[in-house]
Chain A
Amino acid sequence: MRGASRTTPAAALAALLVLSGCSGSDGGGGEEASSNTLRIIYQKAGDASPLDTLMQTTKEQFEAANEGVTVELEPVEGTDEDYNTRLALSQRSPDTAPDVFYEDTFRLRSDVEAGYLLNLDERLAGWDEWVSFNEGAKEAGKADDGSTYAVPLGTDTRVIWYNERVLEDAGVEVPWQPESWNDLLEMARTVKEAQPDSRPFSMYAGTGTGEGTVMQSFYELLYGTESGGLYDEESQKWIAGSQGFIDSLAFLKTLYDEELAVTPAEALDPNVWQVVLGTMLPENQMGATVEGSYAPSFWQEGGMLEWPEYADVMGVAPFPTQDGQEPGAVSMSGGWTLAVGAGTENPDLAFEFLTTAMTQENLLQYTVDNSQIAVRTDVADAPEYLQANPFVEDVSAVLDVTNYRPATSSYAEISTAVQEATEAVITGGATPEEAAATYDEALKAIVGEENVVEE
């Protein structure tokens, strides 16, 4: 009995401590925020990170121009999702909140609601280079109140990347331009016949690839149906009971059931995109896939998945609408920005750092290194940009038909519900109708019935 009573409180406390560890907020560094120090948080993916180069350059230029001011760079290594979480945690306390940070456009509106971002309207009005940014790109930095909170670094689009060799070997004529979903299946089946062990046309699915599943796959399908997107901008309600949603799931099901795409097990691996871009396409095992306009940044010399021959082997085609209806093609755009922390002690210095990063010279280098689509008109016109890779023109052309995510604060959860629907369909866990019905239920639970409209 004595032994038992001695272990009880200790073990109970240990249990509580271990379990509550899951919910405790990140203490963070709590460094001395001296008035002459700027803290910058940004994402660093891989060893050769164009953003890291941009930040290092900006730090040098900024410190040379502002004597006595120190810039502390805090790169976060990890996926987009990990980065967003890490950033949000550091913003929760004024002691750890950064002065300037790299912000995903799809988190912007929700982070503005949270009060993390400084309103830049006045400062931008006094910045003579702001006129060089194109109007579409400026929208990316705006929140629901119409004010601008962030300055875009670049944007992107999604297109079909196809391997000309694989298509030609199967007798598909290149340049290939599909005009409807049927054309996609037709090409895939032709290639499958000629090369049975290949993955002729792969599109991401499942929760493993996260936002990639929706941005580089499902939305290209959904936004090309008569039903359109997830959200009705006019009534500001989310759409349930959409036929386009079912059709899109059915299309993915066909790809996976007929083994035209990667296997379901491969699809659920979060690193599948590296296998697709780094192995399957370069080794002629894959016909085509949907990927971002930034794909060349991985393939170009010094890139993460270097493959210098890509320029001769790969071709680009806009993703077609379901039956070829207007506007004929579909794309999705996202992009990243720089923003200033709402709690910064030095808003003027922080904004100056931001503008130093955004000069034509700096942004040109970054846009080219990172295969971004230019947001400054004087970058877009620069010969270095147009010659950066053979696909710049093709991937910029689809800006006319591009769409943006409905990035409200519930978006992340809704996006996961969509990813789960695709996962259920490709693993055979549900029919497209059942998966769509499950999504409708989840949607109502997330935003409330009053914010959902039945199609």
Chain B
Amino acid sequence: MPLLPAIVLIGIFLAGPIVWSFYGSFTNAALTGANAKNPEWIGLDNYTSLFADPLFPKSLLLTVIFVLVSAVIGQNFLGLGLALLIRRAHRPVSDVVGICVVAAWVLPEIVAAFVAYAFFFRDGTLNQLTGFAGLPAVDWLFEHPMLAIILANVWRGTAFSMMVYQAALDDVPQEVTEAAEIDGAGGAKTLVFVTVPMIRRSIATNLMLITLQTLAVFTLIYVMTAGGPTNRSTTLPIMAYEEAFRYSDIGYGTAIAVVMLIIGAAFSLAYIRLLRERNPS
């Protein structure tokens, strides 16, 4: 059975943690206090209190906004746009742009997070630049925390989409786009009716990957705003961390992780649907 080692490995390293997460979310396991010694099975209690927690709907909404705006819209469209533009640009221009964009992706997340913090910070780069232009300083992390973390995530993640689309566009045969142009289709029409349908599969895969990545973004937000002020940027990963490690309530934090898991699965299913509908094989 050559498959056996693979199955065992998947069981230990993939299925194990997931099963543990599900199990943990039904207990009152804690980091400290009596529940740390003897965690008990408490059924759906964690979920009942989660749905009654006023922070939960707020956090859920912030997470969805963060994913939609920074990944599905920001990274995805910007990535596609850059990939299209780079194909037409002259070599040195495309090289320079490519390196700049990829630089943000290459940085370790913690470094990128500090760079973004230094950029948006009260006395940071952005306010210094706008200061030269005579504009009043804006405390981005305090007044517009969501905008700041969304822009930071777009900056950091666009390179991934760009590279996926560059690869996909290379696979679009030139004859097809040329034929469309001969038939009288303009640049926009060619893009919508010819290029996009041909790279549809890459789009769906890319959307799925960046959605899941963005759903799990923690370091960037934690370093920049730590979820504040007044929980105005507390996405679900931040909320799960706070509950599990700050309040030592591992069970409750795990319940939030399970909810994130379900959201991720829902997004994935939606994208798979998208692939299927347009592709009756």
Show the binding face of A for B, using Cβ within 8 Å: 1-4, 7-8, 11-25, 81, 85, 88-89, 92, 107, 110-111, 113-116, 206-208, 264-266, 268-270, 409, 412-413, 416, 420, 423-424, 427, 429, 445
Contact = CB atoms under 8 A, between A and B. Distances in A.
Contacts of B142: 264-265, 268
B257 A4 contact: no
- The main secondary structure of chain B at its interface with chain A is helix
Contact of B20 (A7, A24, A107, A266): A24
A85 B212 contact: no
Nearest to B139: A265
B250 A207 contact: no
A115 B37 contact: yes
B226 A270 contact: yes
Contact of A206 (B35, B143, B229, B246): B229
Interface string B243-257: 011111110011001
Contacts of A113: 32-34, 36-37
A20 B209 CA distance: 16
Contacts of B240: 22-23
B37 A19 contact: no
A417 B172 CA distance: 56
Contacts of A270: 226
B177 interface: no
Contacts of B14: 13, 16-17
A23 B208 contact: no
B61 interface: no
A268 B122 CA distance: 12
Contact of B212 (A18, A24, A107, A207): A18
Nearest to B274: A4
Contacts of B244: 22-23
A266 to B, nearest CB: 8
Contact of B264 (A15, A92, A266, A268): A15
A17 B17 contact: yes
B201 interface: yes
A410 to B, nearest CB: 8
Contacts of B250: 23, 25
A19 B31 contact: no
B248 A412 contact: yes
A25 B260 CA distance: 17
B112 interface: no
Nearest to B275: A4
B47 to A, nearest CB: 14
Residue of B32, B264, B272 most packed against chain A (CB within 10 A):
B32
B230 A88 contact: no
14 contacts: A4-B272, A16-B14, A19-B216, A19-B257, A19-B260, A19-B261, A24-B21, A85-B246, A110-B32, A111-B32, A113-B37, A265-B139, A270-B226, A420-B231
Residue of A116, A412, A445 most packed against chain B (CB within 10 A):
A412
A15 B229 contact: no
Given A19-B216, A270-B226, A429-B230, A114 B253 contact: no
B226 A208 contact: yes
B265 interface: yes
A424 B230 contact: yes
Nearest to A5: B272
Contacts of B130: none
Residue of A14, A15, A114 most packed against chain B (CB within 10 A):
A15
B162 interface: no
B171 to A, nearest CB: 12
B229 A423 contact: yes
Contacts of A445: 49, 52-53
Given A19-B260, A23-B250, A85-B246, A11 B209 contact: yes
Contacts of B230: 420, 423-424, 427, 429
- The main secondary structure of chain A at its interface with chain B is helix
Contacts of A412: 246-248
Contact of A114 (B30, B275, B281): B30
B246 A11 contact: no
Contacts of A424: 230
A15 B216 CA distance: 9
A134 to B, nearest CB: 28
A110 B34 CA distance: 7
Contacts of A115: 36-37
B31 A23 contact: no
B281 A107 contact: no
Given A13-B14, A207-B228, A409-B34, 18 more contacts: A1-B281, A11-B268, A15-B215, A15-B265, A15-B268, A18-B212, A19-B215, A22-B218, A23-B17, A23-B21, A110-B248, A114-B35, A265-B142, A268-B228, A409-B30, A412-B248, A423-B229, A429-B230
A224 B228 CA distance: 29
Nearest to A207: B228
Contacts of A24: 17, 20-21
Contact of B32 (A7, A15, A409, A427): A409
Residue of A11, A116, A423 most packed against chain B (CB within 10 A):
A11
A140 B246 CA distance: 22
Nearest to A3: B201
A23 to B, nearest CB: 4
B20 to A, nearest CB: 7
B174 interface: no
B18 interface: yes
Contacts of B254: 23
Contacts of B18: 16-17, 20
B241 interface: yes
Interface in B47-77: 49, 52-53
B79 interface: no
- Top 8 closest A-B pairs, CB basis? A409-B33, A114-B36, A265-B142, A88-B31, A1-B281, A23-B257, A15-B264, A23-B254
A13 B37 CA distance: 32
A74 B152 CA distance: 35
A111 B37 CA distance: 10
A146 to B, nearest CB: 17
B246 A92 contact: no
A416 B275 contact: no
Interface string B104-142: 000000000000000000100000000000000001001
A184 to B, nearest CB: 25
B199 to A, nearest CB: 12
A4 B17 contact: no
